[in-house]
Structure 1
Amino acid sequence: MILISKYLVPRGYTGLAVFPFVFLKYRELKWDKVLINHEKIHLRQQLELFIFPFYILYFVEFLFRLIQFRNWKLAYRNISFEREAYKNEKDLNYLKSRSFWEFLKYY
């Protein structure tokens, strides 16, 4: 389910996936198929890790990457979950052929 909320999506981002919702900053983003696909990849990742562990791993990996790169944006872009989503967001059929725990290939 897609919801619009400019207050729930952090500054600097346009979308956020929190199972089972995709939050978008602006209504017109509902038609951005690449962004929606990116967020759907995150929803699949969350399901595979039974939701709550996904957020723990995401946060821990972000902290590790932040120490590694000393740059917020670079740390964010190098989280394995984000690397998978960014690499495959333009392939609108990706989720149909995606393997279970595919994000592990991006560590």
Structure 2
Amino acid sequence: MILVSKYMVPKGYTGITLFPFVFVKHAHLKHNRVFVNHERIHLKQQLELLILPFFIWYGLEFLVRYLHYKNWHQAYRNISFEREAYQNEQDLEYLKKRPFWNFLKYLCKP
């Protein structure tokens, strides 16, 4: 379910996925197929890791990447979950063919 809420989305971002919801900052994003596909990839990732472990892993990986890059945006873009979502967001059929735990292949890539 996609909900519009500028208060749920952190500053500097346009959306956030908190299973089972996708919160977007602006209503027009609900109709952006690429953006929605990106967020649906996150829903699938969250389900695979049974939701809470996803957020723990996401947070820990962000911290490790932030210590490595010393740059918030670069750390965020290099989280394995984000790498998978950004790389495949344009492929609107991706979720139909996506292997289980596919984000792992993005974990160790430079």
- Interval of TM-score (by shorter of Structure 1 and Structure 2): over 0.9
Residues paired across the two proteins, number: 107
Amino acid at match of 1:83: R
CA distance in 1, matches of 2:14, 2:44: 19
Are positions 1:45 and 2:45 aligned together? Answer: yes
Q: Residue 85 of structure 2: SS of its match in structure 1?
A: helix
Question: Within 5 Å, which residues of 2 pair with 1:25-36?
Answer: 25-36=25-36
CA distance in 2, matches of 1:83, 1:29: 20
For 1:63, the equivalent position in structure 2 comes to: 63
- Pairwise CA distance, 1:77: 0.2
Q: Residue 8 of structure 1: SS of its match in structure 2?
A: coil
Amino acid at match of 2:97: S
Question: Any runs of at least 4 consecutive aligned residues in structure 1 with deviations exceeding 4 A, and if so which?
Answer: none
**Structure 1 residues not aligned, in runs of 5+:** none
- Pairwise CA distance, 1:15: 0.8
Q: Identity rate of aligned residues, in percent?
A: 64
- Pairwise CA distance, 1:75: 0.1
Q: Residue 3 of structure 1: SS of its match in structure 2?
A: strand
CA distance in 2, matches of 1:91, 1:39: 13
- Pairwise CA distance, 1:94: 0.2
Q: Residue 37 of structure 1: SS of its match in structure 2?
A: helix
CA distance in 2, matches of 1:23, 1:8: 7
Q: When the two structures are superposed, what TM-score results if normalisation uses the length of structure 1?
A: 0.99
**Structure 2 residues not aligned, in runs of 5+:** none
- Pairwise CA distance, 1:28: 0.8
Q: When the two structures are superposed, what TM-score results if normalisation uses the length of structure 2?
A: 0.96
Amino acid at match of 1:82: E
For 2:82, the equivalent position in structure 1 comes to: 82
CA distance in 2, matches of 1:98, 1:84: 10
CA distance in 2, matches of 1:17, 1:39: 6
Are positions 1:8 and 2:47 aligned together? Answer: no
